[in-house]
Amino acid sequence: MQRAGYGRGKTPRRPGPKKASNIDKDPVGVYCRIRPLGGEDEECCVEMISSSTIQLHAPDGLKANRNGEYKETQYSFKKVFGINTTQMELFEDIAKPLVEDLIHCKNGLLFTYGVTGSGKTFTMTGSPGEGGLLPRSLDMLFNSIGPFQAKRFVFKPDDKNGLEIQSQVDALLERQKRDSQQSVPKTPSSRQKADPEFADMISSEEACKSDSVDEDCCYSVFVSYIEIYNNYIYDLLEDAPFDPIRPKPPQSKILREDQNHNMYVAGCTEVEVKSTEEAFEVFWKGQKKRRIANTQLNRESSRSHSVFTVKLAQAPLDADGDHILQDKNQVNVSQLCLVDLAGSERTSRTRAEGSRLREAGNINQSLMTLRTCIEVLRENQMCGTNKMVPYRDSKVTHLFKNYFDGEGKVRMIVCVNPNAGDYEETMLVMRFAEMTQEVEVARPVDRPICGLAAGRRYRNQAFKDELSRRLEERGGPSNADDPALVNHLIESLPALPGCELVDPADDQTLPRLIEVLERRHRVRQMMSEQFNKTANSLKSMLQQFDSQLSAKDTFLHEQQNKLSEKDKLILNQRSEIERLEKKSKTLEYKIDILQKTTGMYEQDKRSLQQELETREQRLQRELSERRRMEQRMQGMVTDTRLKWEKECERRVNAKQLEMQNKLWVKDEKLKQLKAIVTETSSTSSGGGGGGPSERPEKPERPARERDRNMAQKRSASPSPHPDFSQTPSRQNRASVRAVQDPLPTSTPSSSSSSSSSAYPSVASCISEWEHRFPVDSSSQTRHPGTPQYRSRTPAPYYGASSVGRRRGQRWAAGTEAPAATLVYGLDLEAGTRTAPPVRPTHRRSQSAGGEKWVDHKPASNLDLDTVMQPIIPNAIKVSTPSEKALSKCHKYVLRHQELASDGEIETKLIKGNVFKTRGGGQAVQFTDIETLRQECPTAPRMK
């Protein structure tokens, strides 16, 4: 927070008190307490070896190293308390010295640490019949200072972490105001009237007190109770007015620093208590407001860190020993903080959700900050560094900053649950405790001795008792202010003479009365002189005794200082010896661990070398086997290629021979047909007496070499073998149907004369066959892809005057005529019936953009922000395939996404062709798969 000043600069921080560099320091005292197991069937993982050492065993389900052996670790503490330790034994060793220091104006911090459900709250609070550290500390404090407590409201908090002294009148007014308002609960008169939650917590035989209380001081106890929940500080003793209509949540408090650089909670309620029962009631009032919840691991799990602070104020009496010295600088304030930290927990085990999950996260974060602060403190002290300790990262560490940076005693109780389920969390707690023991805190110094003489309260009381005794010896009452004592003194004076005055001028009675009064006056003067003389002598004797006592006290104090210095020296040497012994044991233990680790590493190295050699040998064998396999496969490929080349050559030769045979058969048929035609024409011309026209010469048949060359030019695809089982007449009919032979035409006169002849001409025969079996014009179209027209035979004649006739069509000379036709499904060459041809639809060239795609992209696919995207132009995009979309396209592609082994999404494009089925539908035949995959170059490769 900045103040608005000149130049808007920050307010300079007030320098703290300079501490001497040679301040004695003590390590943090870390103790361990083991709670009993919850059930007999639970597995135990903690073993107590000695009074200062425990050993952790890994549970059966957890293997600590790669060899499968259980790893056992040992941890040392200042003292270890087993499962049979009572609350009284724990208090005697840990909390009782802190209460002694509190009475001697020294600060102390005691906190419990551990996993949830390990017994921290029970150790700190306890239960009826088994009071914990907190109630026992309060009981010891009030048993020690009970007779020397100041009246209520003599000490008053100044709201700045300090206390001031009020006068007797102001304190009396405050008490009267308290009695009228009844805002503060009165002290119970007996233990039976206390809260039943704390009834019989501490038995009378277990009560203890301190014997070194300064009787020349007056004491007063103030308590406060806060909790740190979700890194916010709440006052558990604050009496906020409750509004039933609009209840307000509790307001959080802030931390501030006082003039002595100590952290405190601003605005925190501090209640003055005068007895153990009253302190119990105040504590239970705040305990009922503390946040607890039921989790999977603990039925009443603390969800916040609680801090119960006991502040003790003491001030010396004046020189007379009657009243408190009215000097604020003489007031000494010491405090003892009793902290119950919330347990660390794993949400995987507690199954926390919602607010429980947020609470667990804040608890673990604050405990992690505490560990970090301890690590930095340890590093600064051991290595001489000056790193900044992150106290401000958490309210817990910020509140206790002055304990670690200042002076005082710090004690930590590590609570351990030996259940095997808490093994991993217990390991972390043990490591933190082992590290905390190496942090040192400045030892608290003794408070300055007041300049007044010691024993003032006792001497004042002794003087009063002696005065009362002497008065009693004289026969008078012990109280000098008693009216009977005054009457006794009056009676001891000379008696007045009986006289009666009747005249003011009486010369006999008045002189006698004057004489008696003068004698009584002299006696009174003598008594007063004797009393003053006795008082002076007694005062001088008391002063002499005071001087002698002060001299003896000074001498005794000097001797005590010398003795304490010797004790400090002995303790320092002893602690140094213990530290060196502990360090040597730690180093020996680390050496053993390193030797074991080195042996394990060497054994692993040898095993890995053997494994590497074995793998290299196996790799060499696999490589040689692969080379042999490649050579064998090359030989097999060569043999297979040669075999198939020979087979192909054999098949080609067989097919050529077959085609030559077919050509020879057709030539024979053609010769027979020519003979029939020639015989018919000659017969008709001879019967008509000869015509003026002459027959053209018979064209010569091409040579056999030419036929062989023409056979080589034909297609090598196989053709159906001729059926030689048919009769010659059928073969002749088939030849007549199939052959479209160009013949030399005659003149019109000869044709007309021949048509009138009894023997019909070739044209009339063909016309007759065509009228009998009409030929479909569409069947004349050649389809090279159909099986019926895979073999074509050229015309055997190439004469210039050759004219072919088919249904009135003329074929030019030298053109190729079809060797066979289909008439109503008849193969004229083979003489068999075939199915009607399937005419595929016309297909445009791919370069012309005739293909259309069906882009099938399911709705579950994700859009990836990659550069390469499967973009298909001229496509119909669908989420589900439909018959309408398939009927319009030729290609089909499906986008399929799946998760690869490295966690990236892999996209596959499955492509196929669309075919029309005979039933009128569409079918898809998949032909190709493309894979689009995204990889991270920095990600580790999977083996």
148: nearest Cα among 457, 553, 446: 457
Strand partners, 906: 898, 933
Q: Is 114 annotated as a binding residue?
A: yes
Strand partners, 306: 227, 340
Of the chain, the percentage scoring pLDDT greater than 90 comes to 34
Instruction: Read off the amino acid at residue 785.
Output: G
Structure tokens at 934: 């995204």
Looking at residue 772, its pLDDT comes to 54
Confidence of residue 79 (pLDDT cuts 50, 70, 90): very high
Q: What is the pLDDT of residues 799-851, one digit of tens each?
A: 333 334 333 334 334 434 343 333 333 343 444 444 444 444 545 444 455 68
Determine the Cα–Cα distance for residues 81 and 88; give it in Å rounded to an integer: 12
Determine the Cα–Cα distance for residues 765 and 762; give it in Å rounded to an integer: 5
Q: Is 385 annotated as a binding residue?
A: no
Q: What is the mean pLDDT of residues 634-641?
A: 94
Higher pLDDT, 468 or 923: 923
Q: How far is CA 163 from the centre of its chain?
A: 46
E strand or H helix at 332: strand 332-340
Higher pLDDT, 198 or 283: 283
Determine the 3-state secondary structure of 896 from DSSP.
Answer: strand
Q: What is the pLDDT of residues 241-286, one digit of tens each?
A: 766 777 777 788 999 998 888 899 999 999 999 999 899 889 988 8
Higher pLDDT, 95 or 732: 95
374: nearest Cα among 437, 304, 307, 305: 437
| Residue labelled with tokens 């032979």 | 741
Q: What is the pLDDT of residues 580-599, one digit of tens each?
A: 999 999 999 999 999 999 99
Looking at residue 596, its pLDDT comes to 93
In this structure, what DSSP letter does residue 848 have? G
674: nearest Cα among 703, 693, 700: 700
Looking at residue 752, its pLDDT comes to 37
Structure tokens at 671: 């010769």
Q: Is 683 annotated as a binding residue?
A: no
| Residue labelled with tokens 């009927």 | 887
Q: What is the pLDDT of residues 649-684, one digit of tens each?
A: 999 999 999 999 999 999 999 999 999 999 888 776
Confidence of residue 620 (pLDDT cuts 50, 70, 90): very high
Q: What is the mean pLDDT of residues 25-53?
A: 89
Determine the Cα–Cα distance for residues 593 and 433; give it in Å rounded to an integer: 20
Let me know the angle formed at the C-alpha of 940 by 939 and 941, rounded to the nearest 5 degrees.
115
Determine the Cα–Cα distance for residues 250 and 242; give it in Å rounded to an integer: 10
Query: In which order are the strands placed within the sheet that holds 853-856?
Result: 875-878, 853-856, 891-899, 905-916, 922-933
Structure tokens at 710: 């023409």
Residues 368/352, Cβ–Cβ less than 8 Å: no
| Residue labelled with tokens 């010797």 | 566
Determine the Cα–Cα distance for residues 666 and 792; give it in Å rounded to an integer: 13
Determine the Cα–Cα distance for residues 380 and 387; give it in Å rounded to an integer: 7
| Residue labelled with tokens 């892809």 | 785
Strand partners, 200: none
Average pLDDT, the chain: 76
C-alpha distances (whole Å) from 31 to each of 91, 366, 371, 402 are 12, 21, 17, 22
Instruction: Read off the amino acid at residue 38.
Output: G
Instruction: Read off the amino acid at residue 474.
Output: R
Q: Give the dihedral of Cα atoms 668, 673, 676, 677; nearest 10 deg.
A: -140
Q: What is the pLDDT of residues 525-550, one digit of tens each?
A: 888 888 888 888 888 888 888 889 88
Q: How far is CA 272 from the centre of its chain?
A: 45
Q: Is 116 annotated as a binding residue?
A: yes
Confidence of residue 443 (pLDDT cuts 50, 70, 90): confident
Residues 6+ apart with CB under 8 A from 452: 216, 316, 317, 318, 319, 325
- Is the pLDDT at 618 greater than 80? The verdict is yes
Confidence of residue 22 (pLDDT cuts 50, 70, 90): low
Looking at residue 799, its pLDDT comes to 38
E strand or H helix at 484: helix 483-491
Q: Is 804 annotated as a binding residue?
A: no
Determine the Cα–Cα distance for residues 474 and 918; give it in Å rounded to an integer: 148
Structure tokens at 216: 């020349």
Looking at residue 636, its pLDDT comes to 94
Q: Is 51 annotated as a binding residue?
A: no
Determine the Cα–Cα distance for residues 823 and 798; give it in Å rounded to an integer: 26
In this structure, what DSSP letter does residue 149 have? B
Looking at residue 515, its pLDDT comes to 83
Q: What is the pLDDT of residues 681-733, one digit of tens each?
A: 877 665 544 444 444 444 444 444 444 554 444 444 444 444 444 444 444 44
- Least confident range of 403-407, 480-484, 507-511, 556-560: 480-484
Q: What is the mean pLDDT of residues 923-942?
A: 80
Higher pLDDT, 141 or 3: 141
Q: What is the pLDDT of residues 856-869, one digit of tens each?
A: 989 888 888 788 88
In this structure, what DSSP letter does residue 9 have? P
| Pairing label, strands 826-827, 126-127 | unpaired
Q: Tell me, yes or no, if the pTM score tops 0.75.
A: no
- The number of beta carbons lying within 10 Å of the beta carbon of residue 296 is 15
